A and B are shown apart, each in its own frame.
Chain A
Amino acid sequence: MSLARAGASRDRVPVPPFGAFLEANRAAVYRFLTVAVGPGDADDCFQETFLSALRAYPRLTDGAKLDRWILTIASRKAIDHHRAGGRRAVPVDEVPEPGDALASSAPPEPVDAQDPLWAAVRSLPPRQRVAVVHRHVLDRPYDEIAELMGSSEATARANVYQGTKRLRELMA
């Protein structure tokens, strides 16, 4: 990742104690996951995200831009979650529409479970959904979204554009 590159041009920032890192980033990660995987699965993904970070933590040599690092991990978890969700979906009488796998794991008691925006968000393909959340929930710039999702900036823009367009159609 670009952490190493950035590290070369300036002094390294000491890696903070994990508790401080967690405290500084947990709210953003939770917000991201709530919309990216749904309130019902946000908690599990949150645990997986920070446990992965904890596993890798002793190997970090630079404490700069850890907010991007954790959102990169969270993005991967969110996308993996959608793929895994598709694989371990329980058999049902009606075959759900593609991308609708999460509709079955409906949020327990979100802010407003009836908000039609939830259904619209759930219908987005995983990478569009993740990109849209980075852009419209966390207000991240496109170059950063590209970095977080390991894609080019053009792809990040396309994902956000397509996802937003679809949401707008669904909410029209």
Chain B
Amino acid sequence: MTPTDLNLKRLAPSADADRSARAASDRLAAAAVDRDLLDVAVARVASPIGELLVAVTPRGLAYVAFEDEDRDELLARLARELSPRILEHAAAADDVRRQLDEYFEGERTRFALRLDRRLIHGIARDVLTATAKVPFGRTTTYGELAGKIGHPKAARAVGNALGSNPIPIVVPCHRVLRAGGALGGYAGGVSRKERLLRLEGVLAG
């Protein structure tokens, strides 16, 4: 059908198209932001506890993921619960990135970021609002937090709510420990919780 001299594929070799398409995709996100067409921007943030993936919407920071979280699954969830208009866009997270950098360098003790709380449901709303008030370098317990939100017997429910925290580090669920001082659980793994508490001077060393 197509003799060699009519081989149109040679006008657009796949490797070239791949490269150009990737570069064009990067510019697309910025154009989408200019036109208010991007509902969720995701970006990578390097950190001492592994690369983080953050999701930012026009309302604010909606999600902070640790690197072992399944990214396809996460993006599918964001598409379902927020909007499928999701693109990777590093610039959208510049403010988040800068504040996280400062936090990890020990130069920032509170975040000044707008939060998008649409991924926080039910009792977790109260739990995480109370958690956000625990200052840098201080800790509380599951039981205390339960008391604060008016359900003193719901320590277990509080633990579950903290485990579902979509905005860890910034909403400092790592500052909630078990009564008696045991670290308790952490969605990002207990070793990360330990790292953060050490950074904040709660744990020695």
User: B13 at the A/B interface (Cβ < 8 Å)?
Assistant: yes
> Given the known A-B contacts A46-B21, A47-B24, A51-B35, are A136 and B87 also in contact in the complex, defined by CB atoms under 8 Å?
no
Q: How far is the CA of A39 from the CA of B86 in the complex (A)?
A: 27
Contact with A along B1-37 (1 / 0, CB 8 A): 1110111111111101110111011011001100101
Min Cβ gap A165→B in Å is 10
Q: Which of A20-28, A84-92, A151-159 contacts B (4 or more CB under 8 A)?
A: A20-28
Number of residues on chain B facing chain A (CB within 8 A): 42
Partner among B12, B24, B86 whose Cβ is within 8 Å of the Cβ of A18: B86
Partner among B13, B17, B31 whose Cβ is within 8 Å of the Cβ of A51: B31
Min Cβ gap A172→B in Å is 8
In the complex, chain B residues whose CB is within 8 Å of the CB of A22: 25, 28, 87
Contact between chains at B8 and A117 (CB < 8 Å): yes
Contact with B along A105-133 (1 / 0, CB 8 A): 00000111001011001000000000011
Label chain B's interface by main secondary structure: helix
Q: How far is the CA of A23 from the CA of B87 in the complex (A)?
A: 10
In the complex, chain A residues whose CB is within 8 Å of the CB of B35: 51
Interface centre among B6, B16, B78 (most CB of A within 10 A): B6
User: A103 at the A/B interface (Cβ < 8 Å)?
Assistant: no
Contact between chains at B37 and A54 (CB < 8 Å): yes
Partner among A16, A42, A50, A115 whose Cβ is within 8 Å of the Cβ of B28: A50
Which residues of A53-69 are within 8 A (CB) of B? 54-55, 57-58, 60
In the complex, chain A residues whose CB is within 8 Å of the CB of B3: 168
In the complex, chain A residues whose CB is within 8 Å of the CB of B8: 35, 117, 121, 132-133, 136-137
In the complex, chain A residues whose CB is within 8 Å of the CB of B2: 136, 164
Q: How far is the CA of A171 from the CA of B72 in the complex (A)?
A: 47
In the complex, chain A residues whose CB is within 8 Å of the CB of B88: 19
Contact between chains at A19 and B37 (CB < 8 Å): no
Q: How far is the CA of A133 from the CA of B85 in the complex (A)?
A: 29
User: A140 at the A/B interface (Cβ < 8 Å)?
Assistant: no
Q: How far is the CA of A26 from the CA of B88 in the complex (A)?
A: 14
User: A98 at the A/B interface (Cβ < 8 Å)?
Assistant: no
> Given the known A-B contacts A22-B87, A58-B84, A167-B6, are A34 and B31 also in contact in the complex, defined by CB atoms under 8 Å?
no
Min Cβ gap A1→B in Å is 18
Contact between chains at B76 and A14 (CB < 8 Å): yes
User: B79 at the A/B interface (Cβ < 8 Å)?
Assistant: yes
Contact between chains at B20 and A30 (CB < 8 Å): yes
Contact between chains at B79 and A30 (CB < 8 Å): no
Contact between chains at B24 and A57 (CB < 8 Å): no
User: A3 at the A/B interface (Cβ < 8 Å)?
Assistant: no
Contact between chains at B14 and A31 (CB < 8 Å): yes
A residues near B (Cβ < 8 Å) are: 14-20, 22-23, 26-31, 34-35, 42-43, 46-47, 50-51, 54-55, 57-58, 60, 110-112, 115, 117-118, 121, 132-133, 136-137, 164, 167-168, 171
What 5 pairs between A and B have smallest CB-CB spacing?
A: A30-B21, A26-B21, A34-B12, A31-B17, A17-B79
B residues near A (Cβ < 8 Å) are: 1-3, 5-14, 16-18, 20-22, 24-25, 27-28, 31-32, 35, 37-39, 42, 72, 75-76, 78-80, 83-88
Given contacts A18-B85, A20-B75, A46-B24, 14 further A-B contacts (CB under 8 A): A15-B84, A26-B22, A30-B17, A31-B12, A34-B11, A51-B31, A51-B32, A54-B38, A111-B16, A117-B6, A117-B8, A117-B11, A136-B8, A164-B6
